[in-house]
Structure 1
Amino acid sequence: MTIFKSRTLSIICLLIIGLSSCEQKKSTNKKVSEDTASNAKSFYPEFSWDATPMYYHFGDIDRVLKPDEVKFISDRTDFICIEKSHAYNELGDQVLGTKHEVEAFHKIKPETKVLFYYNSYLAWPYPRFNKEFTPEGIANNPELEKFLFVDPKTEKLRVKTKPGFSYYFDALNPDFRKWWVESAVKGIEISGADGIFIDRMNVGLNSDYPNDQLVEIAQAKGEMMAELKKQMGPDKILVGNNAAKTEEVYPHCDAFFFEHYNSSVTDKENLLEEWKDMARIAKDGKISIYRFGAKGKKKTDITIGATDTDGGMEQRSKDQLEYFHACFLIGAQPYSYFQWNWGWNLEDGNLVEYPALQKPLGAPKGEFQRETADGWVFTREFDHASVWVNTDTKKAKITWH
Structure 2
Amino acid sequence: MKKLLKISLALLLPSTVLVSAAHNVPFDWDTVPVYAHLANMSDDFTPEQLDFLAENFDLITIEKGHAKRKHGSTEKGFALAVEEIKKRNPEAKVLFYWNSTIKIGGYDAIDDFPPGGELLSKDGELLRIFNSTFSDLSQPEVQRWWSDTASRAVHELGADGVFIDAIGKFSNHSRRKVLTPEKIEALNNGLCAMVEETRRQVGSSSILIQNGVSMDPENVGARLLQVTDGAMKEHFVSAKPGKKEALAEDIEVLQAIAKSGKLLAIKAWPGFDWRDQEIMQKSREERVQMARAAITFPLACYLLVAEPYSYFCYTWSYQGNDTGTFVTYPEFDKPLGPPMGDAQRNGWKYTRDFVHASVFVDLDTWSASIDWK
TM-score range, shorter chain: 0.7 to 0.9
* Cα distance between partner residues in 2 of 1:70 and 1:215: 42
SS of 1:75's equivalent in the other structure is helix
Contact 1:221–1:248 (8 Å) recurs in 2? no
Residue 102 to residue 150, structure 1, CA distance change in 2 (3 Å): same
SS of 2:153's equivalent in the other structure is helix
Which residue of structure 2 aligns with residue 281 of structure 1?
257
Cα deviations by residue, 1:251-300 (Å, 9 ceiling, x for unpaired) = 1100211001898x964333333333334333433201100122334428
Runs of 4+ in 1 over 4 A off after TM superposition: 38-43
SS of 1:52's equivalent in the other structure is coil
SS of 1:167's equivalent in the other structure is strand
- Residue of 201, 223, 234 corresponding to 1:259: 234
Q: How does 1:327-366 map to 2 (within 5 A)?
A: 327-345=301-319, 346-366=321-341
Contact 2:237–2:247 (8 Å) recurs in 1? no
Counterpart code for 1:331: V
Residue 167 to residue 361, structure 1, CA distance change in 2 (3 Å): same
Which residue of structure 2 aligns with residue 185 of structure 1?
151
Asked if 1:158 is matched to 2:127, the reply is yes
* Cα distance between partner residues in 2 of 1:50 and 1:113: 19
Asked if 1:126 is matched to 2:106, the reply is yes
Asked if 1:72 is matched to 2:52, the reply is yes
Residue 274 to residue 298, structure 1, CA distance change in 2 (3 Å): closer
Unaligned 5+ segments in structure 1 are 1-37, 134-142, 302-306
Contact 2:103–2:132 (8 Å) recurs in 1? yes
TM (norm. structure 1) is 0.78
Alpha-carbon distance, 1:381 to partner: 0.5
TM (norm. structure 2) is 0.84
Asked if 1:397 is matched to 2:349, the reply is no
Residue 40 to residue 214, structure 1, CA distance change in 2 (3 Å): closer
Asked if 1:226 is matched to 2:196, the reply is yes
Contact 1:115–1:193 (8 Å) recurs in 2? yes
Counterpart code for 1:186: R
Aligned residue pairs total 342
Contact 1:63–1:90 (8 Å) recurs in 2? yes
Residue 132 to residue 243, structure 1, CA distance change in 2 (3 Å): same
Alpha-carbon distance, 1:95 to partner: 0.9
Q: How does 1:2-401 map to 2 (within 5 A)?
A: 41=21, 44-131=24-111, 144=115, 146-153=116-123, 155-161=124-130, 165-202=131-168, 205-206=171-172, 208-210=174-176, 212=181, 213-243=183-213, 245=215, 246-260=221-235, 267-299=243-275, 310=283, 312-345=286-319, 346-371=321-346, 375-401=347-373
Alpha-carbon distance, 1:367 to partner: 0.3
Residue 80 to residue 365, structure 1, CA distance change in 2 (3 Å): same
Contact 1:219–1:248 (8 Å) recurs in 2? no
* Cα distance between partner residues in 2 of 1:237 and 1:41: 5
Residue 203 to residue 166, structure 1, CA distance change in 2 (3 Å): closer
Moved more, 196-205 or 346-355: 196-205
Contact 1:298–1:308 (8 Å) recurs in 2? no
Alpha-carbon distance, 1:89 to partner: 0.4
Alpha-carbon distance, 1:235 to partner: 1.1
CA-based RMSD of the aligned residues comes to: 2.7
Residue 309 to residue 152, structure 1, CA distance change in 2 (3 Å): farther
Alpha-carbon distance, 1:193 to partner: 0.6
Alpha-carbon distance, 1:390 to partner: 1.2
Contact 2:22–2:207 (8 Å) recurs in 1? no
